[in-house]
Chain A
Amino acid sequence: MKTNAVEKALGALGSAQVAVSDHATRGFHLNVTVNPEEVVRAAEVLDAEGFFIEAVTGVDWLGEQEALAKEAAKKAAAAQKAAEAAAAETAEQGGGEEGAASPPEPADEAEAAGQGQEPAEDSFEVVYDFNHFQQLCRVTVRTRVPRSNPELPTISTVYPGADWHEREAHDFFGLIFTGHPDLSPLLLPEDADFHPLRKDYKP
């Protein structure tokens, strides 16, 4: 089947983590995450396998890292409360075993880790959809690009069709595709400097 042939080929890329997902529930067969620099390599591999470009788009994960950090902190706090309750309980029974002492430590590290360094930088997720005309195999290639400088190489050299998709992604998210022939606004007016699909976009 085409999927495992592609899976091996994409696996060869340095940073690619290839995960097979169930088409019935998710809609795509292969879920590949690569580093931004590897995107052109991935496109070339898929081009060699005869895939056609379906869509290129972005997702703005603003506030994701904070949510993760808060979650981690909440989990840590819950774990710590549970540990104190366990310690109080053993204290009541008068048993003096040391066993109870151990659980609180992991809670502290998680907590310490939680507030220690400031949460990782938010990112855009750029999603490439490829599909195959003959065999049914939809491959979704994802990359994460930091919000501060959303730069990644263009694949319009491999797929000319992606030229417009990338211009549209640039319109909506401000993603800068290096090496793109003409990154002027496609759907927005010529002088548009706003990016509507960013979560922090205020009309």
Chain B
Amino acid sequence: MSGYFKEIFDGGKSLLVGLGITFKQMIQPVVTERYPRTAPKMPPRYRGHIDLVRDEEGNNKCIACGMCQRNCPTGCITIKGEKPEGAKKKVLTFYRLDFTTCSLCGICVESCPTDALEFSKEYNLAGYSAGDFVFDLLKRCEERRR
């Protein structure tokens, strides 16, 4: 019989302790980060979609060698470049990234011989159609220069 009362007493005590905890939590300040009003700051190594690195005058360092295109596991990068006569190195003319199939593994950034790629800090990429996620990095690079 004593077990019966003891169990009820212990049970009751554990219930009251539980209430105490939630009350203590209720008094403490709220932890929500009000996203639309306060934009969160992304850490330096945050992996957004890849972007072309711009050196001082603002043009990119890419030599259109296609290393990133070959190494990408899901083949989401397509590049076109041509060699202007007289110049030694090829120049990038078209850089298309299909971000819908990119898995952000960083192999392209790693395998680029001239370190022409880096991770951007874009995080709110809402779009209405899949087309919104196909980026033309060359155009983005020029836009940022102006």
Q: Are A and B in direct contact (Cβ within 8 Å)? A: no
